[in-house]
Structure 1
């Protein structure tokens, strides 16, 4: 798909009807930047300002943007290409994530003000003559001061120059056979040499902004080729004086195969131009220099290899990194890289972390485990205020074994705040809460295919749990939710045709709740299971399978993709970054760990069923103490049965207060039914008291208590130890230089380079064998 955005000339009173109310936050931001009501200007235009350049361009930018956001919201699908006609190109840049909504509007506002000061110029549309013929007419007629402004179609071309020249040329072009010569209602000679002063000022103005690499291919007006990251500012500035190569831009897209081109924005001008180009022109088949390079490559040994590899492998791994993983997955989640950062509990995966990742073409999940409902709501609000609606982010939901009511409340917040993607972890069975989240908003698109408004990425480490998430929800659960009025009859019917989770992430060797599996064993099994279930239920959309756990080096990333992963998800390495919401004391300890410095211990949350987590053991007493408490819980039916020496040691060393004091504090927090049960069940009471140590150990690590450092509970995997060894001796050795978005992209780039070298060497070796044998 390609989305194309209209430019100046497509504005009309009433444009944007319904959009301003649908995107109230963005509308308010636009009003603040512009200093007037954008809704009133577009819908009412009482002062007839909509036709004035300084108002037209911001208005079109806002309406184009909101139309795009609504389209993405309704379909959940992102285009492969974007382009915009003149002013519309700024909406294409927005859609590609090069800048956010507010930044784009500030830039467009300044551009519009510059262009509105242009006087003495004019423009005219010449219809019915080819570009070559127009150039001949201009040359022979002595119109050297007129430039080509827009090449809209093979037979519709706009010229630009001084007003008197444009008017004088009318009769000359009509005599030369032009079907029509329309003088446009503009005050300036846009897209010509006469805008040079504006270009210089604009170029200086945009130096203050930082632009992101494009997540979607943007076709440049200036070159009719994809934007390059290194040329973003240059292209934006040059567009003011250069021709709008619209005809070749559309031909370029046509040359990429069966691409559906859709106008996004008011009017039908651009859609009409596209149809004309399709009738009058042939596709432009381009062997892009960004993708193809025929130079000899050098393999890891330094010897020459004559195989043809993508140019980005030689020049930069950035483009190659974008090719790793499943393209459909990246498109669905609007990602540049098939790279996710998992949600770490207690908000360690902080709101700042999520924003950082989203702005760099990757996605993270807010860690909600053990956060209060109000804190979760506040953090989500902060993220939504600071990210555009198209920028990718999600929220983690961890199974709450002991208190399912909390899960239900969190899901309520997720639905209330419009969260469209969640990462679920530690689930052993489906719960009404997550089923409700998944099924709410199921709908069918125009082709009759079912679209999940709310997406779930399920982290699993066992095939039977993976099968549960890959299968449709069981009828009992559907009927239960339907009877309770939590889903509609239509949603209940559609639920039978879609999997519970949109995607699966296979956890192996991770620091969180899992079964200590090995990627090399789990991934092939899960992929085969996925294929069997796809066939069994005849799903129209592929369930993607990602890899998590043990990923801390480029080689580990590369191995995951070689195993068949559609995406990867990292965890522990993100805990030792600037953005992680955990104490600097913990980060100091984590940056010094090696691969052998972790241990599996009982999990506080799933204490009674023997759940385990991987934690840092170097310099800490927590692993031994956690294991001791679990062993005591298994051996005895009450605290009273434990010998006095052991009880005294636990109270003095672990809790630093008596069991009675711990229980007294617990009673103030527990619901009445929990208190009653603990009074009647001594083993249950012992479990609650012992669990307090785990909670206390978490609190110490989060706060960074120096006095109780040995009791820190720091969940992490050996992946962080591997990462530490990889970056040893570089700036990244110090966690203060580690930013979650940057290390993710570095890992992807280096993984791509690692694969290139590996395949290069393999090809060379095979060639040598063939030469020897034949």
Structure 2
């Protein structure tokens, strides 16, 4: 039994591969063609400074690792039983296992190195002499929760990653904690941490261009420390950029499988030394054969019982749901505490659809129906938001609850700040936080404003946050207290009080999480069946870790268009459900009648994925209406042209004519004139200096225009309508086919959500009765 291990960044040396390039000239030539420079010259002659730059290190090391593996096989060594690679080395492991060929692997690594090489302002450091729990405890207790554990290299060698100034502050903290060594690494980015999320997003779009197969040899993944699953190869590979490298556990897993020889393949002896340390300090990890991913439970602390998994939501539902022989009603569904805390009759939320599609009328109707609605503020002018809030106050005179959708705006954080100012000024008590990949000053300021301590010692928050998340690392950020760095910054700026800053560490950023599976608009294409159990375990771990005294509820969103879907979510343990796509085809939705006419007839197959306007350059994607429009095809064509060309002037004559006559129905000059009139001066100045940025702004005009046309119902632009929508609406349309609700003009948002819950309760009651009978 043999396993081959491929090293990662840090193992490169000037002169590596000297005895390999001539023997494998064909592969060397392929590498030169892909990279655009001589890989042999770089590896043998440098200069060393260039070889050590991430953009060049990763391709060089990948090539030398591959040539070393080819030499091994040529010398008669057997194919391995298992393969693994440390960070970058995992790409070599996947090539060895047949997931993709050498050329594909090098193209992926080339782009990976470019993206990671662009990362600035971050840092990493190796901590020696402390175990993982000690490192995590020190980070939490010292207010350095902005730092992530990046590499678990051995039981006593941990690499941490974060912002450079935080890493510098951490040195004194770890030395005071008696760490044997704290050594900053020569990197410019916070690799394998939350700060690589945007690079990961862009890399995901790149990977999707290539064919990737299931490995024919088990490859131990850095992210899971278990073999790659055949159905999640791409997802596991791309998540490695922002996730930790669980190397110690990976080696222990191989030892537990009876591996007799673990051989480093590539330059240096770093992995050989780590294997020796792991054997000495920990030994094998015995795992059941059928287990492909870790299933660890929260560890019990001394004197306590092991943490128990939370029961399904029915345990917190109500007396009618406690036994299968009793009738279940819509009011019984979901969490009692969720409904009590938000003043609701039903555990149902209507999400805040952008540009006012979740209109003031829609939110008011939902509130009067005993549910919680969020005003759609993304893309809306501050004056419009304030007018909508005044309208809601006038409509909801009995104090019915409502909220505002707060969307992260990384490109223009001043918009986020302005919306928080409005929410605080109008005493908005709950926001729906969407599209966050990290906590921001505006969000933290809203959360901390008005914190007090009650007579029983609990911290009381005036402002509540329900966070929409689809990834564990983002869920972790919302389930943790506000980052100490941001709290200190806000205090220094006088934007929070000393009392609020002092209390900030005793409660999470979010009161509740809404777990968003595949849905309309921006989506990670997640699956509720996997999201809910995984985030529930994370929630339970963090509640125990931080000692929170108030419950944090978990809701489900995405794909909820029928009673069966809603019932399934509640049966899985969802404390509430959030609907979206079905609500924009109602009387109260703030979009055009023409869009609603298109939407009322779609089926579940009538949506598609297209580039997003706000994430165009990095390959962000949204789910949109496909039936009856050309937007998805045209948006994808624009992105393809953007990737292929560096300037509008480089477009071939046929493509340029097609864009101007069919897509834009304006000349490029006319579009650019519109762009100049609506973008900040800094953006235009950048466009004047960078032709590719100018091309991006011109192309993105199409996305903005397609949304404007849809919202206004411009019949001339119907084929270009951009309508964010998920397949839930198609399922809803089939459910109501042949009823009065087949026509959207009879669909009222509170009625359809109420009926959805009524029928879900009936479905659930029948299922429980059937289980009881069985």
TM-score, scaled relative to structure 2:
0.58
Q: For 1:471 and 1:609, how far apart are their aligned partners in 2?
A: 28
1:154-553 map, 5 Å = 309-310=325-326, 313=327, 320-388=329-397, 390-553=399-562
1:652 maps to what in 2? 661
RMSD: 1.6
Question: Is the 1:425–1:513 contact (alpha carbons within 8 Å) kept by the matching residues of 2?
Answer: no
Cα shift readout 1:736-756 (whole Å, capped 9, x = no counterpart): 111100111101110010011
Question: Following TM superposition, by how much is the alpha carbon of 1:633 offset from its aligned partner in structure 2, in angstroms?
Answer: 1.6
Q: How does 1:10-89 map to 2 (within 5 A)?
A: none
Give SS of 1:500's match. Answer: coil
Report how far residue 680 of structure 1 moved.
1.1
1:448-493 Cα shifts (integer Å, max 9, x gaps)? 1111111111111111111111111111111111111101111111
Shift of 1:309: 2.7
- Unaligned stretches of 5+ residues in structure 1: 1-289, 295-306, 766-774
User: Does the residue aligned with 1:546 lie in a helix, a strand or coil?
Assistant: strand
| Cα distance, 1:605 vs structure 2 | 1.2
Does the 8 Å contact 2:324/2:768 carry over to 1? no
3-state secondary structure, aligned to 1:575: helix
Task: Provide the rounded CA distance (Å) in 2 between the counterparts of 1:455 and 1:432.
Answer: 16
Residue 717 of structure 2 is matched in structure 1 by: 708
Larger Rg: 1
- 4+ aligned runs moved over 3 Å, structure 1: 290-294
SS of 2:556's equivalent in the other structure is: strand
Shift of 1:563: 1.3
SS at match of 1:410: helix
Tell me which residue corresponds to 2:116: none
**Given the alignment, which residue of 596, 601, 608 partners 1:599?**
608
Whether the 8 Å contact between 1:469 and 1:501 is mirrored in structure 2 is yes
Change (3 A) 1:495 1:680: same
**Partner Cα separation in structure 2 for residue 702 and residue 465 of structure 1:** 31
Compare 736-745 and 634-643 and name the one that shifted more. 634-643
- Shift, 1:573, TM fit: 0.2
Shift of 1:292: 7.5
Q: Hey, what does 1:626 align to over in structure 2?
A: 635
Deviations 1:502-542 (A, max 9, x none): 11000011102221111111111011111011111111111
Query: 1:402 Cα shift?
Result: 2.4
**Rounded Cα–Cα distance in structure 2 between residues aligned with 1:604 and 1:399:** 15
In the alignment, the residues of structure 2 paired with residue 562 and residue 611 of structure 1 have an alpha-carbon distance, to the nearest angstrom, of 33
Alignment of 1:98-117 (within 5 A): none
C-alpha distance after superposition, 1:171-214 (max 9, x if no partner): xxxxxxxxxxxxxxxxxxxxxxxxxxxxxxxxxxxxxxxxxxxx
Inter-partner Cα distance in structure 2 for 1:308 and 1:750: 16
Distance 1:292 1:664 in 2: 63
| Pair 1:722 & 2:734 matched | no
Q: Is the 8 A contact 2:469 2:513 kept in 1?
A: yes
- The match for 2:577 among 556, 568, 571 is 568
Residue 760 of structure 1 corresponds to which residue in structure 2?
A: 769
CA contact (8 A) 1:700 1:708 kept: yes
Q: Is the 8 A contact 1:421 1:456 kept in 2?
A: yes
- 2:703 matches 1:687: no
Native 8 Å contact 1:395 1:422 kept in 2: yes
1:639 deviates by 1.7
Distance 1:515 1:464 in 2: 13
Match of 2:567 in 1: 558
Unaligned runs of 5+ in 2: 1-317
CA distance in 1, matches of 2:759, 2:427: 36
Aligned to 2:652: 643
The Cα shift of 1:389 comes to 5.8
Distance 1:649 1:293, change over 3 A: closer
C-alpha separation in 2, matches of 1:739 and 1:370:
25
Name the count of aligned residue pairs: 457
SS in 1 for 2:468: strand
Distance 1:688 1:597 in 2: 29
Q: CA deviation at 1:397?
A: 1.3
Question: 3-state SS of the aligned residue for 1:708?
Answer: helix
Query: Which string of whole-angstrom CA distances, capped at 9 and with x for unpartnered residues, describes residues 641-696 of structure 1?
Result: 22121111111111110111111121122222111111112221111111110110
